[in-house]
Amino acid sequence: MGSIYKKSLKLFMVAGLLLVFYFWRPWSCSGVDIQPRRADPIQTLLDGKTGKILGAYPDIPYHIKEEVASRLAQNTCVCLADEETFHVPFSDLLFPRVGANNLAHAFLQNNPHSEKIKNHRAQEYNSFQRRSYSPADVLIVAEANSPLQYPTQGVKVQPLRTIIIPGLGLKQKKRSEYMVYLNATLGTFDVAATVDKVSIKGLREKKMTLSSPQLTALNRQLQFVTYTSTVFHPRTADSIQFGTEGYKSFFTIKVEQKKIPKLYNSGYSDEYNITALVTIATKTFLRYNKLEDLIKSIRQYYPNVTIVIADDNEHPQRVTGPRIEHYIMPYGKGWFAGRNLAVSQVATKYVLWVDDDFIFTSNTKLEKMVDILERTTLDLVGGAVREVTGYTATYRHTLSVEEGGEDGDCLHIRRGYHHVIEGFPNCVVADGVINFFMARTHKMLEVGFDPRLSRSGHLEFFVDALGSLHIGSCDDVIINHASKIHLPWSKTGTEKAYDKFRYSKSNGGMKLVEEIFYFKNRFKCTTSPR
């Protein structure tokens, strides 16, 4: 009897150690700061070095070329209407004029809160810029060690616009003549000013050569070299070849439209106004009783928040009430199609997705979700769902793609997360979260939901979002899940019909997921926990 007890004790100890090893991930315990930022000490150092490089040769005179310099961005845009020079019948049709609208005046005039609105707009724009910032956009100039000096990153031009190429230079030992050349494929070169004793060939062409007997004069002239995009493309790049005798280098000029911010005028309160910031979206099918319970629970804690409902029932019932938007879909259109419809009607900065059988409680603090989205670079944050048994789930997964050659790539799905978020001890960064999450509305719309997934689907959205959305999960925002425990003989006809749709034994759903992963996402295989 004693030997059996000892063996059992050892077995429990081994099992306990295995559980500790499984759940304890030392690489996930350290917090990582993901708060938005635009500048750091390295960027400050680069700015200083770049300033010294670009500000060299101030004593070398130059002559501005007005026809080129006038095309450079001045950051002083104005909107002017065409003046009417003469008036004849139907002149507006024959000679259409350009009109102008002063938005600041039109929107803010007679508004008693105009200054608060402008301040709120500026804060939203600063937040947008911080989230959009990438270190790859910082201008870096490779100093002349080759002996060519040129920008290695951070040079941008809008399609069909002109810029000065920063950081060009040459450092060579004394010789009778100094020469450099530039080659482009999607644009042409010119100069915004000319410098004496510098010869230039190929102005307004794709290849330009500059030469001079004086190195300082040549380097001064290189400070005025311009690039003009000549092929319209909203997002591409031109590889520029920059060389001299015996040396050549390459750098990239990004050609892209200016990124237009998406700002939300959600008020200027010191505290988070959930009504102005968040819309709750859901999809319902054959569960109006569950939906009614969800709405009642929402109204208990957030009486004025807007609720958007997508409904694909065969015989839809009216769902009415203050700030409720009920959209009827074709019968059986499906789960992801309903998500698309619901989210497309959201006008607030954030959208909270919930299933129609969830229940809000005092632990469903939407302010916490808004707080982490406002203070970090996250685009989407999941919460936790508490079952009737008391078990709370977060459904955190990591996704990784391994290149696989001509046959496609490999998708690896694992339980867990990447790291804790600094300043938010209950929050982590992951790639897939539970079906209760808040997201930036415009970012969710960018990814969208595959409407072919009609009866079930979840992780497929996060696969599509990989590389586009920055995702987190917090276990201190909890929503309850209505009980799914029903005795077979106690189920209503509606509940049986729902189970027939939701839990059909047909393998058509799995075949569709396999098709989506294989063809649309170009995976040749997936690995995931059993």
Q: Give me the pLDDT at residue 23, please.
A: 41
Domain span at residue 164? 41-69+135-256
Q: Is residue 501 part of a domain?
A: yes
pLDDT at 316: 94
**Among candidate residues 200, 221, 256, the one where a domain is terminated:** 256
Same domain, 401 and 360: yes
262 lies in a domain? no
CATH of the domain at 434: 3.90.550.10
The pLDDT of residue 47:
59
- In-domain check, residue 484: yes
Report yes or no: 360 and 307 within 8 Å, Cβ to Cβ. no
Does position 39 have pLDDT exceeding 90, yes or no? no
Do 154 and 298 belong together in one domain? no
When divided into structural domains, the chain yields a total of 2
Q: Which residues share a beta bridge with 262?
A: none
pLDDT of 525 strictly over 70: yes
User: 426 vs 92, which has greater pLDDT?
Assistant: 426
Q: Are residues 327 and 366 in the same domain?
A: yes
Is residue 376 classed as helix, strand or coil in its secondary structure?
coil
Tokens of 59: 């004593």
Mean pLDDT, residues 212-228 taken together: 96
Q: Give Cα separations from 282 to 311, 316, 342 (angstroms).
A: 9, 15, 7
Per the model's pLDDT, the better-predicted residue between 88 and 369 turns out to be 369
Q: What angle do CA 73, 79, 83 make, to 5 degrees?
A: 125
430 and 475 belong to one structural domain: yes
Residue 386 lies in a domain: yes
Q: Are residue 166 and residue 313 in the same domain, yes or no?
A: no
Please tell me the least confidently modeled range out of 22-26, 304-308, 391-395, 406-410.
Answer: 22-26
Helix (H) or strand (E) holding 8: helix 2-23
- What is the layout of strands, in order, in the sheet containing 397-402? 397-402, 409-415, 523-527
Least confident of 64-73, 254-263, 416-425, 437-446: 64-73
Q: Which of 224, 256, 288 is the last residue of a domain?
A: 256
Query: Where residue 488 falls among pLDDT bands split at 50, 70, 90?
Result: low
CA–CA separation, 170 and 149 (whole Å): 6
Percent of the chain with pLDDT over 70: 81
Judge if 245 and 289 occupy the same domain: no
pLDDT band at 86 (very low <50, low <70, confident <90, very high): low
Note whether 251 and 349 are same-domain residues: no
Q: What is the pLDDT of residue 20?
A: 42
Query: Would residue 127 count as lying in a domain?
Result: no
Mean pLDDT of the chain: 85
Query: Is the domain of 350 the same as that of 474?
Result: yes
Q: Under DSSP, is residue 74 helix (H, G, I), strand (E, B) or coil?
A: coil
The 10 Å CB-count burial string (b at 16+, else e) for 119-139 is ebbeebeeebeebebeeeebb
Q: Does residue 123 sit within a domain?
A: no
Tell me, what CATH number does 227's domain have? 2.60.40
Q: Which of 69, 413, 128 is nearest to 259 (CA)?
A: 128
Domain boundary among 256, 283, 318: 256
Beta-carbon count within 10 A of 204 CB: 12
Q: Do residues 250 and 288 share a domain?
A: no
Q: Using pLDDT thresholds of 50, 70 and 90, give the confidence band for residue 303.
A: very high
The whole-number pLDDT of residue 412 equals 92
Residue from 469, 471, 356 nearest 421 by CA: 471
Same domain, 292 and 213: no
pTM score of the predicted model:
0.80
Q: What is the per-residue pLDDT across 224-234, written as a single tens digit (0 to 9) for each?
A: 999 999 999 99
Taking 70 as the threshold, does the pLDDT of residue 148 lie above it? yes
Lowest-pLDDT range, 241-245, 507-511, 525-529? 507-511
Are residues 464 and 511 in contact, defined by beta-carbon separation less than 8 angstroms? no
Q: What is the Cα 278 distance to its own chain's centre?
A: 18
**Cβ-contact 432, 376 below 8 angstroms:** no
Same domain, 285 and 430: yes
Which stretch of 110-119, 157-166, 220-229 has the lowest confidence by average pLDDT?
110-119
Same-domain status, 317 and 378: yes
299 lies in some domain: yes
Q: Is residue 30 part of a domain?
A: no
Collect all residues with Cβ–Cβ distance below 8 Å to 393 and sequence separation of at least 6: 384, 385, 387, 434
* Total length of the chain: 530
What average pLDDT does the segment 348-375 reach? Answer: 97
Count CB-CB contacts under 10 A for residue 375: 15
Task: Say if residue 138's pLDDT is above 80.
Answer: no
State the DSSP H helix or E strand holding residue 187, giving kind and residue range, or none if neither: strand 187-191
What's the average model confidence in pLDDT over 453-482? 93
Provide the pLDDT confidence category of residue 87 given band limits of 50, 70 and 90. low
As a dihedral over the C-alpha atoms of residue 422, residue 425, residue 431, residue 435, rounded to 10 degrees, the angle is: -140
Give the best-scoring range by mean pLDDT among 97-106, 172-181, 499-508.
172-181
